[in-house]
């Protein structure tokens, strides 16, 4: 199994299957059965339940009745090109920054009402407002989003020095709601445009997504954790503040990329696209880099591009609108 981050600790792992690997590990007497496709593959994945002792462990020789591990089955039939397995999780519950996911939401209703009572006497109590927001996000009573936004608006008005932090929380919560809905309906596409995002959060939760729209935000750079997006095929980063595409090559499945109307101004700012093995179409309209007179030549003559032995379409015109 390969870690998405090239480290032993990762939220996303993947196993590439090819004929050599299958034949190497199949029983000696059955090798002739695996010389040609199709195959039916079944793999068991064991996940160690993390404790706080700080000791590093690896999943080896584990019995199925071990209480320290969770076990998942991952099967792939001959007519499939991928097979996915994941633990059934609730993003809004696990990603709450204040409340541990082990709590039952129903057990916290009394605490929520206590905080509401406190705010009726002290409506500008910042601690109570933040606690209210965390409890509402965890319990999710009817109409909780309206109450959350009202509390955040109050925090912005009474605590000007931290207003950007509260607006960041608003953006983060909006993105988490989209993610939670995608998990609920088992969708592999998410639209996160126009959420005032300045950075990416919780990208490991998007590992199974094939299409993501991050357009019309305030993203400047691509983080190393983009490597979590191992299934991503289509990515929209239009209308952001990107100054470089460095790191885009960490997306192994990417075929279509749109980065129109960003701040890409030099060949170096887009150079990493030549290392995207499956990339076939890139839209770069509205960036200063399209004014380079020899842009297509720089790409076609790049050693990385020639070494890969493939081609992609670079879609743009030379009119840059500000």
* The predicted structure's pLDDT at residue 78: 60
pTM of the full predicted structure?
Answer: 0.77
Query: In Å, how far are 187, 256, 257, 275, 313 from 310, measured between CA atoms?
Result: 31, 15, 16, 11, 11
Segments making up each domain of the chain, as ranges: 2-77, 91-166, 188-315
- Are residues 83 and 172 in contact, defined by beta-carbon separation less than 8 angstroms? no
* The predicted structure's pLDDT at residue 114: 96
* The predicted structure's pLDDT at residue 11: 64
Q: In the beta sheet, which residues pair with residue 73?
A: 44
Give pLDDT tens digits for 123-141: 999 999 999 999 999 999 9
* The predicted structure's pLDDT at residue 295: 83
CATH class in words for 188-315: alpha beta
- Are residues 19 and 32 in contact, defined by beta-carbon separation less than 8 angstroms? no
* The predicted structure's pLDDT at residue 35: 62
Q: Which residues of the chain have pLDDT under 70?
A: 1, 4-12, 14-23, 25, 30-89, 304-311, 318-322
Distance of alpha carbon 43 from alpha carbon 25, whole angstroms: 12
φ, ψ of residue 235 in degrees (nearest 5): -130, 125
């Amino acid at each position: 199994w390969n870690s998405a981050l090239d480290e032993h600790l990762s939220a996303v792992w993947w196993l590439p299957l090819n004929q050599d690997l299958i034949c190497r590990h199949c029983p000696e007497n059955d090798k002739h059965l695996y010389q040609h496709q199709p195959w039916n593959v079944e793999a068991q994945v064991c996940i160690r339940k993390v404790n706080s002792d700080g000791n590093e462990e690896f999943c080896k020789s584990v019995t199925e009745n071990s209480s320290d591990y969770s076990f998942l089955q991952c099967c792939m039939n001959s007519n499939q090109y991928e097979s996915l397995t994941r633990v059934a999780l609730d993003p809004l519950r696990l990603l709450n920054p204040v409340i541990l996911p082990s709590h039952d939401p129903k057990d916290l209703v009394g605490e929520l009402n206590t905080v509401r009572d406190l705010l009726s006497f002290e409506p500008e109590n910042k601690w109570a407002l933040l606690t209210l927001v965390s409890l509402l996000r965890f319990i999710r009573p009817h109409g909780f989003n309206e109450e959350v936004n009202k509390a955040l608006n109050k925090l912005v008005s009474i605590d000007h020095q931290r207003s950007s932090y509260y607006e960041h929380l608003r953006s983060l919560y909006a993105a988490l709601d989209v993610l939670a809905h995608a998990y609920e309906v088992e969708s592999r596409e998410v639209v996160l445009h126009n959420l005032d995002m300045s950075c990416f959060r919780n990208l490991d939760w998007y590992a199974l997504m094939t299409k993501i729209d991050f357009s019309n935000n305030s993203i400047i750079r691509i983080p190393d954790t983009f490597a979590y997006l191992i299934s991503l095929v289509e990515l929209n980063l239009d209308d952001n503040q990107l100054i470089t595409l460095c790191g885009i090559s960490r997306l192994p499945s990417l075929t279509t990329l749109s980065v129109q109307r960003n701040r890409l101004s030099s060949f170096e700012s887009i150079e990493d696209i030549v290392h995207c093995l499956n990339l076939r179409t890139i839209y770069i309209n509205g960036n200063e880099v399209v004014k380079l007179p020899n842009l297509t030549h720089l790409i076609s003559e790049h050693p990385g591009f020639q070494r890969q032995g493939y081609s992609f379409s670079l879609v743009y015109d030379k009119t840059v609108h500000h």
